[in-house]
Amino acid sequence: MSGPKGARGNRFEGALDPVAAAMNASVGFDHRLLPHDVAGSIAHAEMLASRGLISQEDARAIILGLREVADQLASGALAWDEALEDVHMNVEARLIDEIGDAGRRLHTGRSRNDQVATDLRLYARAAAGRIQHAIDELRRALVVQARAHVDTLMPGYTHLQRAQPVRLAHHLLAYDQMLQRDRGRITDAARRADVSPLGAGALAGTTLAIDRKRVADALGFSAVAANSLDAVGDRDFAIELVSACALAHVHLSRLGEELVLWASSEFGFVRIGEAYCSGSSLMPQKMNPDLAELLRAKVGRVVGAWVTLVTVVKGTPLAYNKDLQETQEPLYDAVETLEASLAVARGMIASLDFDVARMRAAIDAGYLVATELADYLVTKGVPFREAHDHAGKLVRLAVSRNLELAQLPLDDLRAVHPAFDDDVATWLDPVRAVDRRDLPGAPARARVLEELAWVERELGLSD
């Protein structure tokens, strides 16, 4: 091979210690940057030719050679060489092998420092687009289930204790709200990544008359980095993206936790599709919600990736330091973990079979309409705190008789407060209780339908 032997050049007589070389090499993980590295190099070569820094003939040879090398590396026809350290040197060495001296001119006016910073920004921007799409696919699955269960009632919980009746659709759409915020944070992170570092050189730019804006435009960047020192040393965009991934996975963890609970015999609210469950090596009857549990667990590695990133960056001086190589693996791991988890969550949500009768029966045990008694008295002019006390007395009475509130005779209600009348029975109907909560963001049927319609339009699920 006639290409460069890593980046050490002739300054060094000997090779790195083998253990040190293994630690120094990044091609084992930064091969993910291949399409972005080649795209950046093509844009750079075109710019060099436009400025007369290389010939048009050399630029054409470089571009064709880069595409050929990229195809061979991607297909496995060419093996990655750890001795060449990273994706950049692997591509450049193979390019020189492919086209000769023209390949040696590609690196004119650029450093691996601004090159990797550019590749990572391109990677982050592309990853953000994929994550946005995956989030929307999960939202669509949630919305389909919500549309099917507008009229399914279930207990709403606080402190994991049955609290008040709500619509299942309302509960599912709460996750859509979380995912909307996650999508917004991913979009914000992508916006911060949308700046081109190319032209910053190693840290102080170049004396050659390059055209930074032309390269930025060719790569679809909205701006060029304003400070060369910051351009090569900035990894804020990666930290922001991983932070957004971590919070998105926190929401998936909450979803996984609820599915684990709901699928248990104690709740019995839902059956998860067999494609997302596992059996037991000992107990043949078991169908365990393993994938929901993994959604719960994998948040740890994504949060860990964020901690790694901020810890690596926190003590680095300006410009490029080798520490920054350690920001790549957590970035890739966070992105890939979230993408996989979003895909699993989408399929699992689509597979859910809710036990509507079991959910409805759960509303009728636990005094979930107690607040309705207090609200009823408020409409009769009783101060809320006093009304709350009277409702509590009636709950105690019902518990002592092993009855639900709707089963208490009207005389018992009037003995607690004379304002109770025959119409109180309608207040104790769970369906009416939910529909009286007819405020923006509340679970009344009309409000849930409004929210569903808005989300469906936003996701392109309706005309």
Catalytic residues: 159, 280
User: Looking at the domain covering 16-108, what would its CATH class be?
Assistant: mainly alpha
In this prediction, residue 463 carries a pLDDT of 67
**Element spanning 88, H or E:** helix 87-99
Say whether pLDDT at 4 is over 70.
Answer: no
Say whether pLDDT at 214 is over 60.
Answer: yes
Return the amino acid letter for 326: E
Report pLDDT digits (tens) over 39-91: 999 999 999 999 999 999 999 999 999 999 999 999 999 999 988 989 999 99
Report pLDDT digits (tens) over 429-462: 999 999 999 999 999 999 999 999 999 999 999 7
Task: Classify the C-alpha dihedral 92-93-94-100 as positive or negative.
Answer: positive
In this prediction, residue 25 carries a pLDDT of 77
In this prediction, residue 41 carries a pLDDT of 97
Residue where the block lists tokens 């993994």: 294
Residue with more model confidence, 25 or 118 = 118
Residue with more model confidence, 64 or 8 = 64
What is the rounded CA–CA span in Å between residue 54 and residue 98? 18
User: Quick one: average pLDDT of 94-109?
Assistant: 95
> Is the CATH number 1.20.200.10 carried by domain 113-361?
yes
Residue with more model confidence, 23 or 222 = 222
Residue with more model confidence, 208 or 281 = 208
For helices 112-148 and 168-193, angle between their N-to-C axes, nearest 10 degrees: 170
In this prediction, residue 7 carries a pLDDT of 59
Scored b (16 or more CB within 10 A) or e, 84-111 reads bbbbbbbbbbbbbebbeebbbbbbbbbb
User: Among 4-18, 163-177, 272-286, 309-323, which range has the highest average pLDDT?
Assistant: 163-177
What is the rounded CA–CA span in Å between residue 317 and residue 181? 34
In this prediction, residue 291 carries a pLDDT of 95
Which superfamily does 363-458 belong to?
Fumarase/aspartase (C-terminal domain) (1.10.40.30)
Domain borders along the chain are 16-108, 113-361, 363-458
In this prediction, residue 10 carries a pLDDT of 59
Residue with more model confidence, 9 or 160 = 160
Say whether pLDDT at 1 is over 80.
Answer: no
Report pLDDT digits (tens) over 166-188: 999 999 999 999 999 999 999 99
User: Quick one: average pLDDT of 142-160?
Assistant: 97
In this prediction, residue 285 carries a pLDDT of 76
Single pTM value for the model: 0.92
Say whether pLDDT at 323 is over 50.
Answer: yes
| Mean pLDDT, the chain, integer | 93
In this prediction, residue 366 carries a pLDDT of 85
In this prediction, residue 365 carries a pLDDT of 87
